[in-house]
Every structure is written in structure tokens, then in C-alpha cells.
Amino acid sequence: MNGTPSLSGRAAAAAAAAAVLAGVVTAAGPASAAPSAAPSAAACTPRIQVLGAIGSSVYNPGGPQADGVIGLGKGNLSVGVSGGLPVYWTGTTVHKVPLTAPAASGEVLAVNKDGLMVGRAFTTGGGGYLFTYRAGAAALTPLPGGDELYGEADVNDAGYVVSRNRAGVGLVWKDGQKVRELAPPADAPPHSFVDLVTGINNKGDIAGTAKVNYYDSDHDQQLWESIPVVWPADGGPAKSLAPSGGGLYQESRVQDIDESGRVVGYDWYGPGYAYKPWTWTAPYTAPGTSPGTPAPFPYGTFEAISPTTNISVGTAKFHPDEPTRADQAQLWKGTGPVLVLPRLAADKPSTATAVSDDGRVGGAAVNANGKLKPVIWTCAARQAYLSQP
């Protein structure tokens, strides 16, 4: 499951030619698979770059995708998922991460400037593990205590990895060892736990959410609340971000944090897909604000923010039961209206999940044949446009 037959002779020559267009699959990539230099944002050519894929999948409007770019590294290195497996790309060439048996699926969630990746793998028995990995290595490194597989994870350029465990405690690792635990803010309600740890910037500020989901038998009521949180780099106490809204069944899903401490994410209202993108700005004394969604989309998310250029990306949505228009990748420059990115094929869905300072946006898009493909928009801000109702 972790490798493909070797190629030789004419087959190798044909594969090399095909790689120029679509990428090829390798088991783990050559040990020398270091990222090459990428052109600057000013010099790049606007396009949608389709990356190599393992098999084929279809778009899932209500959940995670089986193919897509989730993180962008230095040069031509990107990471994510293909065919439901954790992968990375050098250019358009896709490489499988060598999973530890009996892992059956997974994804790479982030990568830093030095090529250190963090991901998660799901085992056939219903368990799994968090791991780190470097391009071309013979094996991945499981993270001790990384047993919560339905959360998120991130890594900064100093090599600090963040996530949370099944017990609802946030964790920080360095060089494969746990170095810090993260607790809910002191002002969080009783019975709160760390629900998500989603981002860490290069200063070491960490973003995520705490949650309380507790049945109060004394008052016969379910207590349910979601709290956006930042854990400061200096190790000081966790800080609750001022709520971005209110109401029954609302949940704030913090997704990323940039170098200035700007936090992005989205709110979810009710049992449907009423997503609304939000952003919070340090020192977090004011409630989060939303730039809205591009017309005619009623809902949208922010999934990532660039480290220093204040570009946020996500997906504009309709409710999947009322798909007036297919989902579309969206981009916000920090001011003005939220824009959309070109589709890979007319009327086909797309989604954006990663953005870098050099102008790239990573995600997934459906082609004219209805197949979901991992993609990168280069010079993305120059491609973005105002959607029409």
C-alpha cells in the first residue's frame, strides 16, 4: 500500500514525460527531494496548477476532501491528501508518506520552511496517530500522546508542533518530544476542555478553541459553548477572544494565526451549513469582525491566512441541500470585499485551504470530468475577482 512498482526502460521514459503534465506517484520520494527555489510573487504567472493525484475522488460538499493541498512549504513543496492518503508534492509530482502498518488513510496537515511536515494517520482498527515526516525519509515519526485524530495540527518554522489529545488537553512538541500542555482560559466556563489547536505562528503564539459540552443535572440542561483562544508565545495564560456573535448552536472554529497575531476562522450556526468567516486582531479586546461573503453565496469560511501579507482564503458556500451555485474558493485581501478564485471547470466546485506569502493558494477543484484534483493557484490575488449575483 505504501509503494508502487519501479519503472525502467521505455516505461520510465514515458513516465518522465507524463510527469511534466500531471505528476507521478512515488513511495516516499528520493532522499534528495529538497524544495527548489520558487519565483517571487511579482514574477509568477497566474494559473491554476493541477497536481498529481493517487486514483480519483469526487467533491464532498459537507466534509473533508479525499484530495487537496492543505499546506504550502518553501519553493515547490506542498502537502495534503490524495486518494485519502497523506502525501506531499514536489512541483506536480505526488509522493506517498510511508505509513506505519496497519494505517489505512490520513493526511499531511502542515509543513514549515525547512520541510518538516505534521500529519495524521487512521488505522484500520479505528485508531491512529499524529506524526512528523521529512521529504524522502524512510519512515515517519509518531508523536507521543498524539491520539486525537479528529482535531487539527500545525508546525512553525522553529519546529514546534501543536495539536491536542483525546482528553481535551492541548499539546506542544519539539523534536518529537512533548514540551508544553495547553489548558482552557481561566475565564472559560466549568468543565471546559481544549477542543481544537489549529495554528502556531513563528513567534510561538498558538490559536485554537476551548469548548464546554456538559449536562447540568442540577438544572436539567445541556451547557454548550465554544470559545476562541490564543495561547501566548511567552507561556502566559490563555486568552479568550471576544465572541464574534451569539445564539443557540453557534460554534467559533478558529483555523489559523499570522505573524501579527491576526486570527481567522468561521462561525457555524445551527445544524446546517450556515458558515460565516471571521477575523480577530490582537490584543483581542474587541469582538471578531466579518467581511461577509461574496454574492450570491450566503455562507463562507476562512481556512488559512498568509504569514505576513494578510491574505485569507476559504470557501464560499450554499447549503448542500440548496446548491444554487457550486462551492467556490474565496480570497480576502484584508480590506474590501471577499473575492472568488477561478474555477478549474465551469460550474464545478472548488475550495481553498492554504495560502503563502509568495502568492500561492492551495486547495482542490473539480475538473470538467467531475473528478476532484489537488490544485495551486499561483499569483492568486491577481486572479481573484468580484463574484456576480
- What confidence tens digit (pLDDT) does each residue in 5-59 have? 332 333 333 333 333 333 333 334 433 344 444 444 456 899 999 999 998 899 9
* Closest residue by Cα to residue 88 from 47, 59, 54: 54
Strands 304-305 and 312-317 come out as antiparallel
SS3 content of the chain, % helix, strand, coil (to 5): 5, 40, 55
Choose between 274 and 170: higher pLDDT: 170
Interval 116-171: pLDDT, tens: 999 999 988 778 899 999 999 999 999 999 887 777 999 999 999 999 998 999 99
Residue 10 to residue 317: CA distance in whole angstroms: 46
Mean pLDDT of 210-234: 85
Sheet with 154-155, edge to edge strand ranges? 154-155, 160-164, 170-174, 177-182
Amino acid sitting at position 124:
T
Pairwise CA distance, residues 166 & 126, whole Å? 14
β-sheet bridge partners, residue 304: 313
Which of 141, 72, 150 is CA-nearest to residue 105?
150
User: Which cell numbers in the block locate residue 81?
Assistant: 491528501
Q: Which residues pair with 110 in a beta bridge?
A: 118
User: Which of these ranges, 119-133, 214-228, 308-322, has the smallest mean pLDDT?
Assistant: 214-228
What is the value of pTM for the model shown? 0.88
Cα–Cα distance between 110 and 120 in angstroms, integer?
A: 10
- Single-letter code of the amino acid located at 210: A
The C-alpha atoms of residue 275 and residue 244 are separated, in whole angstroms, by 13
Of 15-19, 80-84, 267-271, 343-347, least confident by mean pLDDT is: 15-19
Q: What number of residues does the chain have?
A: 389
Q: Per the structure block, which three cell numbers stand in for 11?
A: 516505461
